[in-house]
Structure 1
């Protein structure tokens, strides 16, 4: 299980790099739009593309944040308990997160499926086929759900073996693990 979790972390590092490059490309596009407007020749569509990029980067980036233990958690009770109590709260947090991610991915598929069925396009000058940004967004949520389920399974396995400190290494907060 430890090897799978390390593999997941490495993949999420690559995903974060691609997401960062996507944000940089978006910044470059916005800067080009600003310069083009200055000379009276706007590019157009940058607001729409930026929205798609932000949705994609967010949905894909949350998996990286998860493996880096960077999600915000209120750990007022967690820091006061012993290793078993902390491990139980860490498992509960991961199971809750996995549940939310699975539900979001499930409902996201319903949105994407409806768009694929209707062939919907954006009501903008670009007339983007909406299945493209929605598929990228949905794939990010699905990856996040998979990441959360794998980490939850790893945390539960470690907790069942009594390796409470190891649970904190993959599911705890950065502070006081």
Structure 2
């Protein structure tokens, strides 16, 4: 989904470039890039949220948490991950309400395209729902690991990567690309 969202952004960027060229050479005048761009931006954002959870790329200010002992730190990490799931659920619920209202009203965009608003809103909501499900799944995985007293696994799932983790990952990726074994 993250790649599809990124592809949508790239497609809209190309469309906007085409619009600019058409205007510059006075060949024609299309004005759909702005509308499609706003839809693509919403999709690109929400469809990549789940990927960020899987890659542990969510931003946290954890200067103090890094100083705590391992168990309290993983409890805070688990709280942060579960908070993402709760926020996702609230956002998904609100987005679904918006989609159902647009469907009920038959709302359309106020542009030359006249797109039924429920279509981009439903795709946006799908991204939020997927993010929520992934965050819930990761929370459950981390909680199971914590209950099994596998602190390392719980941390691998829920914690933001440290600078050392990121360096190790970069070295492993470089070695992988060069065909070296670790």
TM-score, structure 1 as length reference: 0.88
Cα distance in 1 between the residues matched to 2:29 and 2:65: 53
Equivalent pairs, count: 163
Cα distance in 1 between the residues matched to 2:61 and 2:19: 41
Using the TM superposition, give the Cα deviation of residue 162 of structure 1 relative to its aligned residue in structure 2, in angstroms.
1.1
Q: Which residue of 1 aligns with 2:13?
A: 27
Cα distance in 2 between the residues matched to 1:35 and 1:112: 35
Using the TM superposition, give the Cα deviation of residue 43 of structure 1 relative to its aligned residue in structure 2, in angstroms.
1.6
Contact 1:59/1:137 (<8 A) preserved = yes
CA displacement 1:114-154 (0-9 Å, x = unmatched): 11111100111211110110010000000000001000111
DSSP 3-state at the match of 1:52? helix
Cα distance in 1 between the residues matched to 2:122 and 2:94: 13
Q: Which residue of 2 aligns with 1:7?
A: none
Question: Relative contact order (alpha carbons < 8 A, sep ≥ 6): 1 or 2 greater?
Answer: 1
Cα distance in 2 between the residues matched to 1:39 and 1:82: 65
Residue segments in structure 2 that go unaligned for 5+ positions in a row: 166-182
Structure 1 segments of 4 or more deviating over 3 A?
none
TM-score, structure 2 as length reference: 0.86
Q: Which residue of 1 aligns with 2:98?
A: 111
Cα distance in 2 between the residues matched to 1:45 and 1:30: 8
Which is greater in Rg?
Answer: 2
Residue segments in structure 1 that go unaligned for 5+ positions in a row: 1-14
